[in-house]
Amino acid sequence: MSNHNYEEMKGNASVTSDPSSHSEKHFHQESDSLKLPLRPPSPMSYGAPPPLTPPSYQSSSEPPDPQFSQGPEFQSQQTIFITPVQPTKEPDNTIYSIFTLMCCFLPLGIVALVYSIKTQEANHSGNATVAQKYSRLSRMMAHIAFGFGILIWTLYITKLTIHSRKHDETTDQGLANLSTNNP
C-alpha cells in the first residue's frame, strides 16, 4: 500500500457526514443494537396472562356493613360419626363343605368351601346381603356335592357287589368242578 491510497481513503472518510457507531473514540463501548434491554419485555408479548396486581385498599369512615365480615371466613367442621361394623350371623356351612370335599365329590366340595369362606368374610365385614348370597351358594354347592357323592358311592358299592357275586359264582363253580373230578 502506498501513501497515496491512504490519503484517498482519508479523503473518502471526510465525505461521509454520518459517523458510524464504531468510531475510534468509543471503541470500548458496544453499539445500541447489541446492548441488552434494562427491563425484560412484558409477559403480554409472549402470550402469557398479565401479571396480577395487588388490590388497592381504600380507607373509609363509613361503618362496616353488618353482612360483611372483615375477618377470615372459616367453615365449621362437620361431625363424622363412625359406628363399628356389626358382624352378621349367616351360616357359613364350613363343616358341611369340608365333609363334602373329603367324602363326597371333590370338585364341588372345593367350590362349596370357597363360598363358605367368602360367607365368613362377608359376615365379619357386616355385609348381610353378600353373606346371605354366599351362604346360599355354599349350601347349594355342598348339597349338590353330597348328591353326587351319594350317587358315586352307590354306583361303586353296586359294582363291587356285582363283581363279588360273579367272583363267588365262578369260585363256586370251580369248587363244584373240583369235587366232581376227584373220586
pLDDT tens-place string over residues 3-62 = 555 555 555 555 455 555 554 555 555 555 566 556 665 555 556 666 666 666 565 556
Q: Is residue 84, in this structure, part of any structural domain at all? A: no
Residue numbers of the domain that contains 169: 94-176
Q: Is residue 43, in this structure, part of any structural domain at all? A: no
Residues 2-16: b if buried by 16+ CB within 10 A, e if exposed: eeeeeeeeeeeeeee
Please state, in angstroms and rounded to a whole number, the distance separating the CA atoms of residues 28 and 31.
10
Q: Is residue 123, in this structure, part of any structural domain at all? A: yes
Please state, in angstroms and rounded to a whole number, the distance separating the CA atoms of residues 7 and 9.
5
**Looking at residue 27, what is its pLDDT?**
53
Q: How many domains does the chain have?
A: 1
Lowest mean pLDDT among 23-27, 117-121, 148-152, 170-174: 23-27
Q: Is residue 52, in this structure, part of any structural domain at all? A: no
Q: Is residue 147, in this structure, part of any structural domain at all? A: yes
Please state, in angstroms and rounded to a whole number, the distance separating the CA atoms of residues 105 and 150.
9
Q: Is residue 133, in this structure, part of any structural domain at all? A: yes
**Looking at residue 107, what is its pLDDT?**
93
Q: Is residue 125, in this structure, part of any structural domain at all? A: yes
**Secondary structure (DSSP) of 77-126:** PPP---PPPPPP-----HHHHHHIIIII-HHHHHHHHHHHHHHHHHHHHT
Q: Is residue 82, in this structure, part of any structural domain at all? A: no
pLDDT mean across residues, the chain: 76
pLDDT in tens, 69-83: 566 666 778 888 887
Calculate the CA 138 to chain-centre distance.
30
Please state, in angstroms and rounded to a whole number, the distance separating the CA atoms of residues 94 and 67.
66
Q: Are 146 and 97 in contact (CB under 8 A)?
A: no
